[in-house]
Amino acid sequence: MKEQKRLLVNLIATAIAFAVQFGVNFILTPYIVNSLGSEAYSYIPIANNFVGYANIVSVAVYSMTSRFVSVEYNKGRPDRAEVFFNSALVSNLVVSLVLLIPSILVTLNIKHIINVPDNLLPDVQLTFGFAFANMLLTLATSAFGSVYYVTNRLDINARRNIEGNVLRAVVLIALFSLLPAKIYFLNATVLLVGVYLVSANFYYTHKLLPDIHPNLCKSTWSAIKEMLSSGIWNSFNQASNIMLTTLDLFLANLFAGSVATGQYSVSKTVPNFILSVITMLVGVFVPQLTIYYAKQQKEKLTNALSYSIRSMGFLCSFPIGFLLVFGTDFFHLWVPSQDADMLHWLSVLTLIPLAVSCCTEVVYNIFTVTNKLRTPAVVLFILGSINTVAAIALMKTTSMGIWAVPVVALVISIIRNLVFTPVYASRCLHMPVSLVYVPIARGMVCTVAMTLVCLCYRTIVHGTGTWFTFLAAVVICSCIAGIANIMVIFNKDERKRFFGMIASKLHL
Protein backbone atom coordinates (compact mmCIF):
# COMPACT_ATOMS: atom_id res chain seq x y z
CA MET A 1 0.00 0.00 0.00
CA LYS A 2 2.87 2.34 0.76
CA GLU A 3 4.16 1.92 -2.80
CA GLN A 4 0.69 2.57 -4.24
CA LYS A 5 0.32 5.72 -2.15
CA ARG A 6 3.72 6.94 -3.28
CA LEU A 7 2.71 6.30 -6.89
CA LEU A 8 -0.51 8.26 -6.44
CA VAL A 9 1.25 11.17 -4.73
CA ASN A 10 3.86 11.26 -7.49
CA LEU A 11 1.16 11.09 -10.17
CA ILE A 12 -0.99 13.87 -8.71
CA ALA A 13 1.94 16.17 -7.99
CA THR A 14 3.45 15.64 -11.43
CA ALA A 15 0.08 16.20 -13.09
CA ILE A 16 -0.37 19.50 -11.24
CA ALA A 17 3.12 20.58 -12.29
CA PHE A 18 2.34 19.80 -15.89
CA ALA A 19 -1.02 21.57 -15.68
CA VAL A 20 0.72 24.76 -14.57
CA GLN A 21 3.21 24.48 -17.42
CA PHE A 22 0.43 23.74 -19.88
CA GLY A 23 -1.54 26.75 -18.65
CA VAL A 24 1.38 29.10 -19.26
CA ASN A 25 1.89 27.83 -22.81
CA PHE A 26 -1.82 27.55 -23.57
CA ILE A 27 -2.45 31.20 -22.75
CA LEU A 28 0.70 32.60 -24.36
CA THR A 29 0.76 30.65 -27.63
CA PRO A 30 -2.28 32.32 -29.25
CA TYR A 31 -1.04 35.69 -28.01
CA ILE A 32 2.34 35.15 -29.66
CA VAL A 33 0.78 33.81 -32.86
CA ASN A 34 -1.60 36.78 -33.05
CA SER A 35 1.12 39.30 -32.18
CA LEU A 36 3.98 37.94 -34.25
CA GLY A 37 2.37 35.47 -36.68
CA SER A 38 2.71 31.71 -36.97
CA GLU A 39 5.88 32.15 -39.01
CA ALA A 40 7.70 33.80 -36.08
CA TYR A 41 6.23 31.30 -33.62
CA SER A 42 7.71 28.37 -35.58
CA TYR A 43 11.25 29.35 -34.56
CA ILE A 44 10.57 28.58 -30.90
CA PRO A 45 10.06 24.81 -31.40
CA ILE A 46 12.80 24.78 -34.05
CA ALA A 47 15.27 26.25 -31.52
CA ASN A 48 14.19 23.69 -28.94
CA ASN A 49 14.63 20.95 -31.53
CA PHE A 50 18.19 22.09 -32.18
CA VAL A 51 18.83 21.56 -28.49
CA GLY A 52 17.65 18.00 -29.03
CA TYR A 53 20.14 17.59 -31.85
CA ALA A 54 22.97 18.67 -29.51
CA ASN A 55 21.71 16.28 -26.85
CA ILE A 56 22.53 13.33 -29.12
CA VAL A 57 26.11 13.61 -27.86
CA SER A 58 25.33 14.22 -24.19
CA VAL A 59 22.52 11.72 -23.69
CA ALA A 60 24.98 8.80 -23.74
CA VAL A 61 25.95 9.44 -20.12
CA TYR A 62 23.26 11.50 -18.44
CA SER A 63 20.39 9.29 -19.62
CA MET A 64 21.82 6.33 -17.68
CA THR A 65 22.88 8.20 -14.54
CA SER A 66 19.55 7.73 -12.74
CA ARG A 67 19.39 4.07 -13.69
CA PHE A 68 22.85 3.11 -12.42
CA VAL A 69 22.72 5.26 -9.28
CA SER A 70 19.23 3.97 -8.46
CA VAL A 71 20.12 0.31 -8.92
CA GLU A 72 23.26 0.55 -6.75
CA TYR A 73 21.61 2.72 -4.09
CA ASN A 74 18.55 0.50 -3.77
CA LYS A 75 20.77 -2.58 -3.56
CA GLY A 76 22.30 -1.03 -0.43
CA ARG A 77 25.59 0.01 -2.02
CA PRO A 78 25.75 3.81 -1.54
CA ASP A 79 29.54 3.91 -2.08
CA ARG A 80 29.14 2.39 -5.53
CA ALA A 81 26.21 4.74 -6.26
CA GLU A 82 28.42 7.68 -5.31
CA VAL A 83 31.05 6.56 -7.82
CA PHE A 84 28.47 6.51 -10.63
CA PHE A 85 27.11 9.89 -9.53
CA ASN A 86 30.49 11.61 -9.63
CA SER A 87 31.56 9.86 -12.81
CA ALA A 88 28.42 11.19 -14.50
CA LEU A 89 29.09 14.64 -13.08
CA VAL A 90 32.60 14.75 -14.58
CA SER A 91 31.42 13.44 -17.94
CA ASN A 92 28.59 15.92 -18.20
CA LEU A 93 30.83 18.86 -17.34
CA VAL A 94 33.28 17.85 -20.07
CA VAL A 95 30.54 17.38 -22.66
CA SER A 96 29.04 20.78 -21.75
CA LEU A 97 32.36 22.50 -22.42
CA VAL A 98 32.72 20.65 -25.73
CA LEU A 99 29.20 21.66 -26.85
CA LEU A 100 29.71 25.30 -25.91
CA ILE A 101 31.60 26.18 -29.11
CA PRO A 102 29.17 24.62 -31.64
CA SER A 103 26.27 26.18 -29.73
CA ILE A 104 27.79 29.63 -30.19
CA LEU A 105 28.58 28.99 -33.86
CA VAL A 106 25.05 27.76 -34.64
CA THR A 107 23.50 30.76 -32.89
CA LEU A 108 25.65 33.29 -34.76
CA ASN A 109 25.21 31.60 -38.16
CA ILE A 110 21.60 30.45 -37.90
CA LYS A 111 20.58 32.34 -41.07
CA HIS A 112 22.91 30.09 -43.09
CA ILE A 113 21.36 26.93 -41.59
CA ILE A 114 17.61 27.58 -41.79
CA ASN A 115 15.36 30.08 -43.56
CA VAL A 116 15.07 33.21 -41.40
CA PRO A 117 13.58 36.53 -42.59
CA ASP A 118 15.94 39.47 -42.03
CA ASN A 119 13.48 41.28 -39.78
CA LEU A 120 13.37 38.28 -37.38
CA LEU A 121 17.08 37.42 -37.39
CA PRO A 122 18.12 39.17 -34.11
CA ASP A 123 15.15 37.70 -32.23
CA VAL A 124 15.76 34.23 -33.63
CA GLN A 125 19.43 34.39 -32.63
CA LEU A 126 18.50 35.35 -29.08
CA THR A 127 15.92 32.55 -29.03
CA PHE A 128 18.57 30.02 -30.00
CA GLY A 129 21.10 31.52 -27.60
CA PHE A 130 18.83 31.22 -24.57
CA ALA A 131 17.83 27.67 -25.58
CA PHE A 132 21.46 26.53 -25.83
CA ALA A 133 22.40 28.27 -22.56
CA ASN A 134 19.66 26.41 -20.70
CA MET A 135 20.72 23.13 -22.30
CA LEU A 136 24.36 23.55 -21.24
CA LEU A 137 23.41 24.50 -17.69
CA THR A 138 21.02 21.58 -17.35
CA LEU A 139 23.49 19.13 -18.86
CA ALA A 140 26.41 20.19 -16.67
CA THR A 141 24.35 19.63 -13.51
CA SER A 142 22.08 16.78 -14.63
CA ALA A 143 23.57 14.28 -12.16
CA PHE A 144 21.90 16.20 -9.34
CA GLY A 145 18.53 15.82 -11.05
CA SER A 146 18.67 12.04 -10.57
CA VAL A 147 17.89 12.40 -6.85
CA TYR A 148 14.11 12.26 -7.38
CA TYR A 149 14.31 9.14 -9.55
CA VAL A 150 16.67 7.32 -7.17
CA THR A 151 14.50 8.00 -4.10
CA ASN A 152 11.19 7.76 -6.01
CA ARG A 153 10.25 11.24 -4.78
CA LEU A 154 8.83 12.61 -8.00
CA ASP A 155 6.34 14.57 -5.93
CA ILE A 156 9.17 16.85 -4.79
CA ASN A 157 10.37 17.18 -8.36
CA ALA A 158 6.83 18.12 -9.39
CA ARG A 159 6.58 20.69 -6.62
CA ARG A 160 9.76 22.44 -7.72
CA ASN A 161 8.47 22.39 -11.32
CA ILE A 162 5.27 24.09 -10.16
CA GLU A 163 7.30 26.76 -8.38
CA GLY A 164 9.50 27.22 -11.42
CA ASN A 165 6.55 27.58 -13.79
CA VAL A 166 4.82 30.06 -11.49
CA LEU A 167 8.04 32.09 -11.51
CA ARG A 168 8.17 31.85 -15.29
CA ALA A 169 4.54 32.91 -15.65
CA VAL A 170 5.06 35.99 -13.48
CA VAL A 171 8.16 37.07 -15.41
CA LEU A 172 6.51 36.38 -18.79
CA ILE A 173 3.45 38.41 -17.88
CA ALA A 174 5.71 41.27 -16.82
CA LEU A 175 7.75 41.09 -20.04
CA PHE A 176 4.74 40.92 -22.37
CA SER A 177 2.95 43.65 -20.43
CA LEU A 178 5.82 46.14 -20.22
CA LEU A 179 7.76 45.49 -23.42
CA PRO A 180 6.98 44.84 -27.12
CA ALA A 181 6.32 41.12 -27.72
CA LYS A 182 9.41 39.11 -28.63
CA ILE A 183 9.72 35.39 -29.36
CA TYR A 184 12.89 35.05 -27.30
CA PHE A 185 10.99 35.92 -24.09
CA LEU A 186 9.87 32.29 -23.82
CA ASN A 187 13.34 30.76 -23.90
CA ALA A 188 14.79 33.53 -21.73
CA THR A 189 12.33 32.67 -18.97
CA VAL A 190 13.03 28.96 -19.44
CA LEU A 191 16.69 29.71 -18.68
CA LEU A 192 15.63 31.61 -15.57
CA VAL A 193 13.61 28.62 -14.38
CA GLY A 194 16.56 26.37 -15.22
CA VAL A 195 18.75 28.31 -12.80
CA TYR A 196 16.11 27.91 -10.10
CA LEU A 197 15.68 24.18 -10.71
CA VAL A 198 19.42 23.52 -10.64
CA SER A 199 19.61 25.26 -7.26
CA ALA A 200 16.76 23.09 -5.98
CA ASN A 201 18.48 19.93 -7.27
CA PHE A 202 21.62 20.78 -5.31
CA TYR A 203 19.58 21.21 -2.13
CA TYR A 204 17.53 18.02 -2.46
CA THR A 205 20.53 15.88 -3.39
CA HIS A 206 22.12 16.89 -0.10
CA LYS A 207 18.87 16.30 1.79
CA LEU A 208 17.57 13.05 0.24
CA LEU A 209 20.88 11.36 -0.60
CA PRO A 210 23.11 12.14 2.40
CA ASP A 211 25.41 9.22 1.48
CA ILE A 212 26.24 10.76 -1.90
CA HIS A 213 28.50 13.80 -2.12
CA PRO A 214 29.86 15.70 -5.13
CA ASN A 215 33.53 14.80 -5.33
CA LEU A 216 35.16 14.77 -8.75
CA CYS A 217 38.05 12.71 -7.37
CA LYS A 218 35.67 9.80 -6.83
CA SER A 219 34.89 9.48 -10.53
CA THR A 220 36.36 6.48 -12.32
CA TRP A 221 36.89 5.67 -15.95
CA SER A 222 35.40 2.19 -15.43
CA ALA A 223 32.12 3.69 -14.21
CA ILE A 224 32.04 6.18 -17.09
CA LYS A 225 32.76 3.36 -19.53
CA GLU A 226 29.98 1.21 -18.04
CA MET A 227 27.44 4.00 -18.38
CA LEU A 228 28.67 4.85 -21.87
CA SER A 229 28.46 1.22 -23.01
CA SER A 230 24.73 1.34 -22.29
CA GLY A 231 24.10 5.02 -22.84
CA ILE A 232 25.64 5.11 -26.31
CA TRP A 233 22.56 3.27 -27.48
CA ASN A 234 20.42 6.01 -25.98
CA SER A 235 22.34 8.42 -28.21
CA PHE A 236 21.22 6.29 -31.15
CA ASN A 237 17.70 6.44 -29.71
CA GLN A 238 17.95 10.22 -29.38
CA ALA A 239 19.05 10.53 -33.01
CA SER A 240 16.27 8.19 -34.08
CA ASN A 241 13.61 10.01 -32.07
CA ILE A 242 14.75 13.27 -33.63
CA MET A 243 14.28 11.79 -37.08
CA LEU A 244 10.88 10.44 -36.04
CA THR A 245 9.44 13.36 -34.05
CA THR A 246 11.39 16.65 -34.17
CA LEU A 247 13.32 16.80 -37.43
CA ASP A 248 10.01 17.40 -39.18
CA LEU A 249 9.98 21.15 -38.50
CA PHE A 250 13.54 21.51 -39.78
CA LEU A 251 12.69 19.59 -42.97
CA ALA A 252 9.47 21.56 -43.39
CA ASN A 253 11.42 24.81 -43.09
CA LEU A 254 13.88 23.70 -45.78
CA PHE A 255 11.46 22.12 -48.27
CA ALA A 256 8.06 23.71 -47.61
CA GLY A 257 9.02 27.21 -46.51
CA SER A 258 8.70 29.16 -43.27
CA VAL A 259 4.99 29.97 -43.72
CA ALA A 260 3.94 26.30 -44.06
CA THR A 261 6.28 25.44 -41.20
CA GLY A 262 4.53 28.01 -39.04
CA GLN A 263 1.15 26.39 -39.71
CA TYR A 264 2.54 22.93 -39.03
CA SER A 265 4.21 24.06 -35.79
CA VAL A 266 0.91 25.47 -34.52
CA SER A 267 -0.90 22.22 -35.43
CA LYS A 268 1.69 20.26 -33.44
CA THR A 269 1.39 22.42 -30.34
CA VAL A 270 -1.37 20.41 -28.69
CA PRO A 271 -0.05 16.98 -29.79
CA ASN A 272 3.31 18.06 -28.37
CA PHE A 273 1.58 18.95 -25.11
CA ILE A 274 0.07 15.47 -25.05
CA LEU A 275 3.48 13.97 -25.82
CA SER A 276 4.77 15.91 -22.82
CA VAL A 277 1.93 14.40 -20.77
CA ILE A 278 3.02 10.93 -21.87
CA THR A 279 6.63 11.65 -20.97
CA MET A 280 5.56 13.07 -17.64
CA LEU A 281 3.39 10.07 -16.76
CA VAL A 282 6.01 7.56 -17.87
CA GLY A 283 8.45 9.30 -15.54
CA VAL A 284 6.05 8.57 -12.67
CA PHE A 285 5.88 4.82 -13.31
CA VAL A 286 9.44 3.95 -14.36
CA PRO A 287 11.28 4.59 -11.04
CA GLN A 288 9.21 1.94 -9.27
CA LEU A 289 9.79 -0.50 -12.13
CA THR A 290 13.53 0.08 -11.75
CA ILE A 291 13.34 -0.59 -8.00
CA TYR A 292 11.46 -3.87 -8.56
CA TYR A 293 14.05 -4.91 -11.13
CA ALA A 294 16.93 -4.04 -8.80
CA LYS A 295 15.35 -6.13 -6.03
CA GLN A 296 14.58 -8.98 -8.49
CA GLN A 297 10.86 -8.88 -7.69
CA LYS A 298 9.69 -10.18 -11.08
CA GLU A 299 6.03 -10.72 -10.25
CA LYS A 300 5.67 -7.21 -8.86
CA LEU A 301 7.51 -5.85 -11.89
CA THR A 302 5.17 -7.65 -14.29
CA ASN A 303 2.03 -6.50 -12.44
CA ALA A 304 3.31 -2.93 -12.19
CA LEU A 305 4.10 -2.88 -15.91
CA SER A 306 0.60 -4.05 -16.82
CA TYR A 307 -0.98 -1.51 -14.48
CA SER A 308 1.23 1.27 -15.89
CA ILE A 309 0.32 0.48 -19.51
CA ARG A 310 -3.40 0.45 -18.76
CA SER A 311 -3.18 3.61 -16.68
CA MET A 312 -1.36 5.41 -19.47
CA GLY A 313 -4.02 4.39 -21.97
CA PHE A 314 -6.78 5.51 -19.61
CA LEU A 315 -5.29 8.91 -18.75
CA CYS A 316 -4.18 9.88 -22.27
CA SER A 317 -7.45 8.83 -23.89
CA PHE A 318 -9.22 11.98 -22.70
CA PRO A 319 -7.24 14.63 -24.63
CA ILE A 320 -6.51 12.40 -27.63
CA GLY A 321 -10.04 11.13 -28.16
CA PHE A 322 -11.59 14.54 -27.61
CA LEU A 323 -9.28 16.41 -30.00
CA LEU A 324 -9.70 13.79 -32.71
CA VAL A 325 -13.35 14.88 -32.84
CA PHE A 326 -13.34 18.49 -31.64
CA GLY A 327 -9.97 19.64 -32.99
CA THR A 328 -11.46 22.12 -35.46
CA ASP A 329 -13.51 23.74 -32.70
CA PHE A 330 -10.44 23.97 -30.50
CA PHE A 331 -8.21 25.63 -33.07
CA HIS A 332 -10.99 28.01 -34.09
CA LEU A 333 -11.30 29.18 -30.49
CA TRP A 334 -7.59 29.06 -29.64
CA VAL A 335 -6.03 30.67 -32.73
CA PRO A 336 -8.96 32.25 -34.61
CA SER A 337 -6.65 33.94 -37.14
CA GLN A 338 -5.48 30.57 -38.50
CA ASP A 339 -7.08 27.93 -40.77
CA ALA A 340 -8.74 25.74 -38.12
CA ASP A 341 -9.68 22.89 -40.48
CA MET A 342 -6.15 22.51 -41.83
CA LEU A 343 -4.65 22.66 -38.34
CA HIS A 344 -7.10 20.03 -37.12
CA TRP A 345 -6.31 17.49 -39.83
CA LEU A 346 -2.58 18.05 -39.50
CA SER A 347 -2.91 17.43 -35.77
CA VAL A 348 -5.05 14.30 -36.34
CA LEU A 349 -2.15 12.69 -38.20
CA THR A 350 -0.03 13.29 -35.11
CA LEU A 351 -2.67 12.31 -32.57
CA ILE A 352 -3.35 8.87 -34.03
CA PRO A 353 0.16 7.50 -33.37
CA LEU A 354 0.04 9.09 -29.91
CA ALA A 355 -2.98 6.92 -29.13
CA VAL A 356 -0.68 3.94 -29.62
CA SER A 357 2.55 5.28 -28.15
CA CYS A 358 0.89 6.41 -24.92
CA CYS A 359 0.41 2.73 -24.10
CA THR A 360 3.80 1.52 -25.29
CA GLU A 361 6.12 4.25 -23.98
CA VAL A 362 6.28 2.58 -20.56
CA VAL A 363 7.10 -0.67 -22.32
CA TYR A 364 9.91 1.01 -24.24
CA ASN A 365 11.49 2.06 -20.95
CA ILE A 366 11.87 -1.61 -20.03
CA PHE A 367 14.94 -1.58 -22.28
CA THR A 368 16.55 0.99 -19.98
CA VAL A 369 15.42 -0.78 -16.81
CA THR A 370 16.91 -4.10 -17.97
CA ASN A 371 19.92 -2.37 -19.59
CA LYS A 372 19.24 -3.97 -22.97
CA LEU A 373 19.44 -1.02 -25.31
CA ARG A 374 21.45 -2.08 -28.34
CA THR A 375 18.79 -3.84 -30.39
CA PRO A 376 16.06 -1.22 -29.76
CA ALA A 377 18.53 1.53 -30.65
CA VAL A 378 19.48 -0.10 -33.96
CA VAL A 379 15.86 -0.77 -34.89
CA LEU A 380 14.78 2.74 -33.97
CA PHE A 381 17.66 4.25 -35.93
CA ILE A 382 16.68 2.28 -39.04
CA LEU A 383 13.05 3.38 -38.69
CA GLY A 384 14.10 6.98 -38.12
CA SER A 385 16.28 6.94 -41.22
CA ILE A 386 13.44 5.52 -43.29
CA ASN A 387 11.12 8.20 -41.90
CA THR A 388 13.48 11.03 -42.87
CA VAL A 389 14.30 9.72 -46.34
CA ALA A 390 10.66 8.96 -47.15
CA ALA A 391 9.46 12.40 -45.98
CA ILE A 392 12.10 14.22 -48.05
CA ALA A 393 11.37 12.09 -51.11
CA LEU A 394 7.62 12.72 -50.91
CA MET A 395 8.03 16.46 -50.41
CA LYS A 396 10.40 16.75 -53.37
CA THR A 397 8.66 14.39 -55.83
CA THR A 398 4.95 14.75 -55.04
CA SER A 399 2.44 17.51 -54.40
CA MET A 400 1.87 16.41 -50.80
CA GLY A 401 3.99 19.23 -49.43
CA ILE A 402 3.85 19.57 -45.65
CA TRP A 403 1.36 16.67 -45.39
CA ALA A 404 4.09 14.17 -46.28
CA VAL A 405 5.79 14.68 -42.92
CA PRO A 406 2.99 13.55 -40.54
CA VAL A 407 1.75 10.81 -42.90
CA VAL A 408 5.13 9.05 -43.01
CA ALA A 409 5.66 9.54 -39.27
CA LEU A 410 2.27 7.96 -38.55
CA VAL A 411 3.11 4.76 -40.45
CA ILE A 412 6.59 4.42 -38.94
CA SER A 413 5.33 5.09 -35.41
CA ILE A 414 2.69 2.36 -35.60
CA ILE A 415 5.26 -0.15 -36.87
CA ARG A 416 7.60 0.69 -34.00
CA ASN A 417 5.00 0.68 -31.23
CA LEU A 418 2.81 -2.25 -32.23
CA VAL A 419 5.31 -4.60 -33.87
CA PHE A 420 8.77 -4.23 -32.36
CA THR A 421 8.44 -2.73 -28.87
CA PRO A 422 6.02 -5.22 -27.25
CA VAL A 423 7.79 -8.28 -28.69
CA TYR A 424 11.30 -7.29 -27.65
CA ALA A 425 10.22 -6.04 -24.21
CA SER A 426 8.65 -9.41 -23.48
CA ARG A 427 11.94 -11.07 -24.41
CA CYS A 428 13.86 -8.77 -22.08
CA LEU A 429 11.56 -9.68 -19.20
CA HIS A 430 11.32 -13.39 -20.17
CA MET A 431 7.54 -13.27 -20.19
CA PRO A 432 4.85 -14.24 -22.72
CA VAL A 433 4.24 -11.50 -25.28
CA SER A 434 0.52 -11.67 -24.53
CA LEU A 435 1.20 -10.15 -21.10
CA VAL A 436 2.35 -7.04 -22.93
CA TYR A 437 -0.10 -6.95 -25.83
CA VAL A 438 -3.24 -7.47 -23.72
CA PRO A 439 -2.79 -4.37 -21.51
CA ILE A 440 -1.75 -2.35 -24.59
CA ALA A 441 -4.97 -3.35 -26.35
CA ARG A 442 -7.05 -2.51 -23.29
CA GLY A 443 -5.34 0.85 -23.00
CA MET A 444 -5.99 1.67 -26.67
CA VAL A 445 -9.66 0.76 -26.27
CA CYS A 446 -9.94 3.76 -23.93
CA THR A 447 -9.15 6.17 -26.77
CA VAL A 448 -11.65 4.41 -29.03
CA ALA A 449 -14.33 4.72 -26.35
CA MET A 450 -13.59 8.41 -25.76
CA THR A 451 -13.70 9.09 -29.50
CA LEU A 452 -17.07 7.34 -29.88
CA VAL A 453 -18.55 9.22 -26.93
CA CYS A 454 -17.37 12.51 -28.45
CA LEU A 455 -18.85 11.61 -31.85
CA CYS A 456 -22.20 10.86 -30.20
CA TYR A 457 -22.09 14.10 -28.26
CA ARG A 458 -21.28 16.08 -31.38
CA THR A 459 -24.23 14.46 -33.19
CA ILE A 460 -26.64 15.36 -30.39
CA VAL A 461 -25.22 18.74 -29.36
CA HIS A 462 -24.10 20.70 -32.42
CA GLY A 463 -22.78 23.92 -30.90
CA THR A 464 -19.32 24.22 -29.31
CA GLY A 465 -18.60 27.68 -30.66
CA THR A 466 -17.70 29.26 -27.32
CA TRP A 467 -15.18 28.32 -24.65
CA PHE A 468 -18.05 27.60 -22.24
CA THR A 469 -19.79 25.10 -24.54
CA PHE A 470 -16.42 23.65 -25.55
CA LEU A 471 -15.38 23.04 -21.93
CA ALA A 472 -18.84 21.65 -21.18
CA ALA A 473 -18.28 19.08 -23.92
CA VAL A 474 -14.88 18.25 -22.41
CA VAL A 475 -16.38 17.60 -18.98
CA ILE A 476 -19.44 15.64 -20.14
CA CYS A 477 -17.59 13.42 -22.63
CA SER A 478 -14.73 12.79 -20.20
CA CYS A 479 -17.08 11.76 -17.40
CA ILE A 480 -19.05 9.34 -19.58
CA ALA A 481 -16.02 7.77 -21.24
CA GLY A 482 -14.01 7.80 -18.01
CA ILE A 483 -16.61 5.81 -16.09
CA ALA A 484 -16.87 3.27 -18.91
CA ASN A 485 -13.12 2.95 -19.33
CA ILE A 486 -12.26 2.58 -15.67
CA MET A 487 -14.65 -0.36 -15.50
CA VAL A 488 -12.95 -1.98 -18.50
CA ILE A 489 -9.24 -1.63 -17.83
CA PHE A 490 -9.02 -1.97 -14.03
CA ASN A 491 -10.12 -4.99 -12.04
CA LYS A 492 -12.25 -4.76 -8.90
CA ASP A 493 -9.33 -4.64 -6.47
CA GLU A 494 -7.51 -2.00 -8.52
CA ARG A 495 -10.61 0.19 -8.67
CA LYS A 496 -11.19 -0.16 -4.94
CA ARG A 497 -7.57 0.67 -4.15
CA PHE A 498 -7.50 3.56 -6.60
CA PHE A 499 -10.66 5.24 -5.32
CA GLY A 500 -9.68 4.49 -1.71
CA MET A 501 -6.39 6.29 -2.12
CA ILE A 502 -8.09 9.23 -3.83
CA ALA A 503 -10.61 9.46 -0.98
CA SER A 504 -7.87 9.32 1.65
CA LYS A 505 -5.98 12.13 -0.05
CA LEU A 506 -9.13 14.24 -0.21
CA HIS A 507 -9.95 13.33 3.44
CA LEU A 508 -13.35 11.97 2.45
φ, ψ of residue 430 in degrees (nearest 5): 55, 50
228 CB-side CA count, 13 A:
13
* Digit-coded pLDDT (tens) for 90-147: 888 888 898 899 899 999 998 888 888 888 889 999 999 999 999 899 888 888 888 8
* Digit-coded pLDDT (tens) for 340-355: 888 888 889 889 988 8
* Residue 320 pLDDT: 92
* Residue 266 pLDDT: 76
CA distance 356 to 66: 27
* Residue 376 pLDDT: 84
% of the chain surpassing 90 pLDDT: 14
CA distance 270 to 23: 12
Most confident of 96-110, 164-178, 219-233, 271-285: 96-110
* Residue 506 pLDDT: 45
Which is more confident, 255 or 466? 466
* Digit-coded pLDDT (tens) for 390-435: 888 888 888 887 788 888 888 988 888 898 989 998 888 888 888 8
In this structure, of 36-50, 97-111, 115-129, 356-370, the range with the lowest mean pLDDT score is: 36-50
Average pLDDT in the chain: 81
* Residue 508 pLDDT: 43
pTM for this predicted structure: 0.64
Residues 6+ apart with CB under 8 A from 227: 60, 61, 64, 65, 68, 84, 87, 88, 91
* Digit-coded pLDDT (tens) for 201-240: 999 988 988 888 888 888 888 888 877 776 677 677 667 7
